[in-house]
Amino acid sequence: MGYEYHRPSTLDEAVRLAAEIPESSYVAGGTDLFVQMRKGHREPRALISLRGLSELGGIEASARVRIGAGVPLSDVQVHPAVVEMFPALVASIATLGSRQIRNVATVGGNLCNASPAADTAPPLLVYGASVELRDVDGRREVPLEDFLLGPAQTALRAGEILTAILLAPSVGGTCSVFLRKGRVAMDLPIASVAALVVWDGATCIRVKLAAGAVAPVPLRLRRSESMVDGTNLDAEIRGRARETAETEISPITDLRSTKDYRRHLTGVLVERALEHLAGEVGG
Ligand SMILES: Cc1cc2nc3c(=O)[nH]c(=O)nc-3n(C[C@H](O)[C@H](O)[C@H](O)COP(=O)(O)OP(=O)(O)OC[C@H]3O[C@@H](n4cnc5c(N)ncnc54)[C@H](O)[C@@H]3O)c2cc1C
C-alpha cells in the first residue's frame, strides 16, 4: 500500500491540493483512517494532513462557541468554556477510546468519519451544533443534523474540509447529560443517549434528546421530546418518554448487540437521563 503524503501549512493550500489530486483523503488524527486503510477498506492515492492548519485549531467563546475541528479531543474535554457550558460533550469524550486515542483523535474526525455510534454526535445534536465547511469555492455552514447522512456518509463535498463546530452558548436553567453503554473498555457504544433540559422554575420548558448507535445516523428523538416538553418531568412522564424512544429508532443486530437489546437499552438510557436531569434541580 503506497501513497503520497502532503503536509500543507494553510487551509488554502490543503483545499487546492485536494482539488488537484484525485483519490486523495484528508487525515487528522488518523485513528479511524489508518485502521480502515490497514483493513483494506480504503486505499487513498494521497493523504493530506490537516495537522499543520492553524485555521482548524483553537476554541473561542464569544457570541458563539467555536471549536476548531482539528482540536484533539483531550483538549476539548478540559477547555473551561466547554466544561462550563457543554458537560454532556465532556462526558462523551471521557468515555471515547483511551487517553492515547483522545490525545490525537479530533472532534472533526469523529464527525467526518460518520459512524452511527460516534460518541460526540448525540451531545452536539442536543446542543444544536452547526458545522463550518470550507473548500476552494468558499465557506458554508450546515446544521449537524443535516451533515450526518448515513454510515460513513456526510454532506461534505469532494475536497471540502470541516473547519469548526459552532455552538450557541447555553442559557440559564440548562442541564444536560450523556449516558452510554458499551461491551468493554475502548469499544464503540451499544447505545448512547444525550439529553438537555431547560428549566423555568419547576417546569421543563425545552427538552432535547438524541441517541447514537441505534439508527443509520445519530438522531434526535423528537417524538419523545414532545412527551416531555412543558411538564415537571415526573416518573410517569419519564416512563412515557422511554416507551416512545423505543419506537422512534431503527437498531440493527451486529457483533456488539442484538437490535432488541439496543431498543430496550435506548429506552432505559432515556428514562435514566431524564431522571438525572430532574434530580439536578431537586425535583
Ligand atoms: C482503539 C480505538 C478506540 C476507539 N473508540 C472510540 C469510541 O469509543 N467512540 C468513538 O466515537 N470513536 C472511537 N474511535 C474512533 C476514532 O478514534 C474517533 O472517531 C476519532 O474522533 C477520529 O478522529 P481522527 O482525527 O483520528 O480522524 P481521522 O482518522 O484522521 O479521519 C477520519 C475520517 O474523517 C475525515 N476527516 C477528518 N478530519 C476532517 C476534517 N476536518 N474535514 C474533512 N474530513 C476530515 C478523514 O478523511 C477520514 O475519512 C476509536 C478508535 C480506536 C482506534
More confident residue, 280 or 43: 43
- The contacts of residue 115 (CB under 8 Å, 6+ apart) are 32, 151, 152, 188
- Ligand 1 touching residue 101 (CB < 6 A): yes
How close is the Cα of 66 to the center of ligand 1, in Å? 19
Number of Cβ atoms within 10 Å of the Cβ of 180:
23
CB-based burial label for 88 (10 Å; 0-12, 13-18, 19+): buried
Q: Closest ligand 1 atom, CA of 32?
A: 29
Q: Which phi and psi angles does 182 have, rounded to 5°? A: -120, 175
Is the model's pLDDT at 25 over the cut of 70? yes
- The ranges of the chain annotated as CATH 3.30.390.50 are 174-280
pLDDT computed for residue 2 by the predictor: 86
C-alpha to C-alpha distances, 204 to 171, 244, 274, nearest whole angstrom:
13, 18, 11
Neighbours of 134 (CB within 10 A): 21
Q: Above pLDDT 70, what percent of the chain?
A: 98
CA distance 227 to 134: 38
User: In which residue are the cell numbers 447505545 written?
Assistant: 191
Ligand 1 atom 51: residue of nearest CA = 31
pLDDT of residue 73: 98
**For the residues 215-235, what does the mean pLDDT come to?**
96
- Rounded CA gap, 138 and 135, in Å? 5
Overall average pLDDT of the 131-160 stretch:
97
* Beta carbon of 221 within 6 Å of any ligand 1 atom: no
- Residue closest by Cα to atom 40 of ligand 1: 162
Q: Where are the alpha helices (DSSP H) in 43-159?
A: 73-78, 80-85, 87-94, 99-104, 107-112, 121-126, 144-147
Positive or negative: CA dihedral 33, 143, 76, 8 = positive
Residues in CB range of 80: below 8 A, 6 or more apart: none
Residue nearest (by alpha carbon) to ligand 1 atom 36: 109
Output phi, psi for 150, to 5 deg.
170, 180
* This prediction's pTM: 0.97
Does domain 4-167 fall under CATH 3.40.50.300? My reply is no
Q: Which CATH architecture has domain 174-280?
A: 2-Layer Sandwich (3.30)
Interatomic CA distance for residues 166 and 140, integer angstroms = 12
Confidence at 283, pLDDT banded by 50, 70, 90: very low
The conformation of residue 86, written as its DSSP 8-state character, comes to: -
3-state secondary structure of 97: coil
Q: Using a 6 Å cutoff on CB, does residue 30 contact ligand 1?
A: yes
Question: Do 156 and 60 form a contact (C-beta atoms < 8 A)?
Answer: no
CATH 3.30.465.10, the chain: domain bounds: 4-167
The model's pLDDT over 150-196, given as tens digits with 9 standing for 90+, comes to: 999 999 999 999 999 999 999 999 999 999 999 998 899 999 999 99
Mean pLDDT score of the chain: 96
pLDDT over 90 (residue 1)? no
pLDDT of 281 higher than 60: no
